[in-house]
Chain A
Amino acid sequence: MVLTATVAGLAPYQGPFGQAEANHLLRRTTFAVTQSRVNEAIDKGLQGSINQLFTASTFGTPINVDTTEDPNVPIGQTWITAPYLSDFNVNGYRTRSLRAFMMKTLMNGGFNISSRMLLFWHNHFAALGNIDKRSVYNYYKLLYDFNSGNFKELVKRMTIEPSMLKFLNGNLSKEGNPNENYARELLELFTLGKGDQVASGDYTTYTEDDIRAIANALTGWQTRYFNQIDPTLQPEAYFNANRHDSSPRQLSHRFDNTMLSVDGADAYKEVVDTIFEHPLAAHYICRKLYRWFVFYEISSDVETNVITPMARALVDNDFEIEPVIRLLLNSEHFFDVQHRGALIKNPIDYIADSTFGLGFETSSDPLVEQEFYVKLNAEASEQLLPFDNPPSVAGYPAWHQAPQYNRIWINAATLSSKTSFAADITGRGLYFNMGDRARPDFIDFIAGFDNPTDPNDLIDELGLRIIGEPLATAQVDALKEILIPGLPDFEWTVEYSEYLNDPDDMDMREAVGRKLDAVVSALLNSPEFHLY
């Protein structure tokens, strides 16, 4: 591949902000992009759109929709602070409720970056575990509420977050027996990243001794009140001074031989502050943000002209994330045509685009709605993104595993899941909850198109909305062959106009609908649909 001389840097983007640019911005920052959202963005312009992305949004609450056995939580109420029961396992309904709620939050976040950031942080701080669902909810709420807030503060909060203490065994760590699991991941995965090993136990960015010292500093934090039936007790973290190692803790030359001197319940704050003094503290997270919003490959040009300035901006803003994302989204580099439509979709994008992106609306019945989202959660899982159960603390491999990165989402097994999913969406419908069925209506979908009576315009617009990029001639021809096989263009115009003239004629609606199903099915199955 021939590479251009130097990549565009972070200088502000000065070009036009039309369909293609608005589409690119929205697909990389929100889920299930529709044409009306693209139009809204074009109206607002680039600055207005970026402002819109960062407007405040609220994390909702999951509710009980299906269980009468929990006297503390009537149907229609939330369980996020409700106690456990001695004679009934509440985890079953709470798991369904939370999974559905998380899918809904991700896929229906609208013109706002919060959902994309929630997924980003969930992958970054991939805690998991079959624990008290109240605690799991609190963990997600923390991630959502921070969305593009202060990274240093988030790391502090995460260090003593009950779910994380449990997941990485911080709650077992005590004087004399420090458990270094969290300390290791704090450095390797959450903040600095691991550099090359240059000497025994020395990974350039930090050393094995630093892991030990930090593990010692973090001893004493424990968790309690999980799964309690006492309504006054909520799962929480607390500091137990008796288990805390108060001996002096010297960090290595990688941290300028800093001596950690704060003792007791605030020791963790000093640990995090010290890590963020490291000269490379901003680089690792900036690379990850870059891979998230732009592209997975980071050339040395990109490192110099994009990552380094991002890192500088992050330090200058005392680790506030929002200004750095704004800088990136507003840049020439972000809008460079080089990486538009070049990322392979993760399963949340794939599923959201093939349902809500096609104008699908969920049922107003909360039970049916929940079951639908539970079904989408299961689909995401089959496609390698088991949302609340990442395969490891590093998150989902497609977001960290070189050299394949996003390509990992695509293999024989996931392709076959995606194909069945697309076949259901455009065919018999997606079945869930013993007989309920979800299916977008493509006649409604094209009703708002510019010129749906002309088959060429129709296909162009379908392509643009579903794929996000203009179709190649070969694709247009192939799709036309599906829409009106061997027939002149006017046949579509005639048939569709007949339907428009008599929209209550169900036979006509059915006939036109089937043609559209076939075209949309081909689009959902095209390799281009997997890109955004």
Chain B
Amino acid sequence: MRRRKFLATSAGIPLLFNQLPRDLSSSRMFSALSSEPDERVLVLIQLSGGNDGLNTLIPLDQYDNLAAVRPTLILPENSLLNLDAERAFHPALEGVRDIWEAGELAIVQDVSYPEQNRSHFRSTDIWHTGSDSNEYLPTGWIGRTLDIDHPTYPANYPNPDFIDPIAITVGNSVSETCQGHASNFSLTVNNPFNATSILEGAGGTLPTTLRGPELDYLRTSVAQTNQYSATVKAKAEAGNSLVDYPENNTLATRLKYVAQMISGGLQSKVYVVTLGGFDTHGEQIEAGDSTSGKHAELLLQLSEAVAAFQADIKALGLGERVIGMTYSEFGRRIRENGGLGTDHGTAAPMFLFGECVNAGVLGNNPTIDIAVDELEGVAMQYDFRDVYGSVLEDWFGVEGTVVRDVLHETYTKLPIIRNCSTIISGTEESAFAKTQLTLAPSPFNNQAQLRFTTKTKGLVRLSVYDVNGSLVETLFERRLPAGDQTVNVDTRQYPTGVIIFHLQRGSEVKVVRGVKH
């Protein structure tokens, strides 16, 4: 296991809290400014099970091919909600479409991680920890960032500087995203209006056996729960909600609680909610009607809940303080599975919403080949950690160097947060000329040639993936001059079958698919 730089010293001795390297001693995510009321909040919405991105955001320019590989799942063209000429939403996403039309929705196309591992549990762990796929991290991506500012947590929390829980999971179990090195930063809140006081026991010395740390964990949890629950209840009661939320929609109820807690002045920075059921191997649609079924119901719940929440946040005057972000452990296969469903795939779009997101679509439509391999998922365009990192940097103001330490060395900032107030987002000029990345010949044997054009000089990375979404190799990462580029690739070592070439310059990605014989 490769440990993160700031979690261990080079000698392998556990790092003491007061020995944090100076440049990492503050992530600024929870600096002294935290007690200011105009703090920024991130609402994470986990779509658990692996959301079918191709049935969520439909590439209109690929519609016929998609219909060919998904003959039963394909949504009728006249049922779709068009965003523009190239893309449309599933008909259940009217609420999300309204957010799009208000200019408050950013879509990042085809997000995944290199070396896709199609296990729910491993994939979820990767998304929660923000690890490499061959790395096991014990902490979540939010938790690891919070550790920098709160190295002694949970000892002496809450305290006068941090009265409120650092993060909140609305539901019954804590979110792994908020797992810090010593404890989970999120308080589990089922209903913020219920607060029970728990007896704290008589204390006493901890046993020196394995019982000691467990007992300590229990004592701390009890004490903290008591202190935090009372605070959360008081703030939620002081809060408000100004719109109607859909009924019989647990996600909506939970998001309403979030709105009430934020508007009541709770200073928690991250709220996590979950909608489960996206593992649609079977009965994704109802036989004979692709617009209804399990997936349609889930998208409807999501859409109505998110639309009500965003309307509420705006009505409460919190529009510039709150953004939301959806994620799921993987997308699904391109080809349907013959059982009215889809199996575990690779990439899927992420949605960010709020007044301060950089509205629009980042990335290109995936290419659907009618000869698509049955193993093939949608190829990755963006690394999920680039999305996380951009949120940390542009929304929470965490330094880029810190983001690189928390997430990964090759982190690239994406223009997904708008210059809403103080923190400036570095949006970039388009680096590639309109011409697509092209591959010849296709299919290829031992050699292939790639062509593309760069408009300006800059750092370009060219990587190769196989049919499972696994990284085959990174061909290069170097500064290229402006102009036409030709790359000859030795493909002898590549596995036969589908090969994806992935070209990235900053936030811009081009993907081309080929087949090796």
Residue positions of A touching B, CB distance < 8 A: 1, 168-169, 172-174, 176-177, 179-181, 184, 188-189, 194, 196-201, 203, 208, 212, 295, 297, 337-344, 382, 384, 391-394, 397, 400-404, 406-408, 410-416, 419-420, 469, 472-475, 477-479, 521-522, 525-528, 530-531
Contact = CB atoms under 8 A, between A and B. Distances in A.
A426 B339 CA distance: 52
7 contacts: A173-B339, A176-B338, A200-B468, A522-B199, A528-B201, A530-B218, A531-B218
Contact of B229 (A174, A179, A406, A412): A412
Nearest to B343: A180
B199 A169 contact: no
A530 B282 CA distance: 40
A272 B392 CA distance: 47
Contacts of B466: 200-201
A194 B210 CA distance: 27
Contacts of B173: 384, 397, 408, 411, 413
Contacts of A478: 201-202
B210 A342 contact: yes
B210 A416 contact: no
A344 B134 contact: no
B10 to A, nearest CB: 22
Interface string B204-244: 11000111111101110110110011000000000000000
Given A172-B339, A200-B115, A412-B189, A525 B199 contact: yes
Contact of B214 (A200, A344, A413, A479): A344
B172 A527 contact: no
Given A384-B172, A408-B173, A340 B339 contact: no
Interface stretch (B190-198, B304-312, B431-439): B190-198
B115 A419 contact: no
B468 A400 contact: no
Interface stretch (B118-126, B408-416, B452-460): B118-126
A1 B212 CA distance: 10
A416 B202 contact: no
Given A382-B172, A419-B197, A526-B199, 13 more contacts: A172-B338, A174-B338, A176-B338, A199-B470, A200-B495, A344-B217, A403-B138, A411-B184, A412-B224, A412-B229, A413-B172, A416-B198, A522-B199
A223 to B, nearest CB: 12
Given A404-B184, A474-B202, A525-B198, A531 B118 contact: no
A6 to B, nearest CB: 16
B277 to A, nearest CB: 11
A212 to B, nearest CB: 8
B202 A172 contact: no
A174 B282 CA distance: 13
Contacts of B134: 196-198
Interface of B: 115, 117-122, 133-134, 136, 138, 171-174, 176, 179, 184, 187-190, 194-205, 209-215, 217-219, 221-222, 224-225, 228-229, 276, 281-282, 337-341, 343-344, 375, 466, 468, 470-472, 495
B281 A419 contact: no
B13 to A, nearest CB: 14
B196 A474 contact: no
Contact of B217 (A200, A407, A521): A407
Contact of B337 (A179, A411, A527): A179
A410 B196 contact: no
A344 B217 CA distance: 10
A168 B281 CA distance: 8
B339 A527 contact: no
Contacts of A479: 202
Nearest to B120: A392
A410 B228 contact: no
B172 A402 contact: no
A179 B210 contact: no
A81 B221 CA distance: 47
A203 B133 CA distance: 11
Give the top 3 A-B pairs by smallest Cβ distance, nearest first.
A177-B338, A172-B339, A200-B470
B133 A402 contact: no
Given A184-B118, A384-B172, A408-B173, A474 B470 contact: no
A416 B211 contact: no
Given A179-B343, A394-B121, A478-B202, A420 B215 contact: no
A340 B199 contact: no
A393 B176 CA distance: 18
Contact of A413 (B188, B205, B219, B471): B188
Contacts of B228: 412
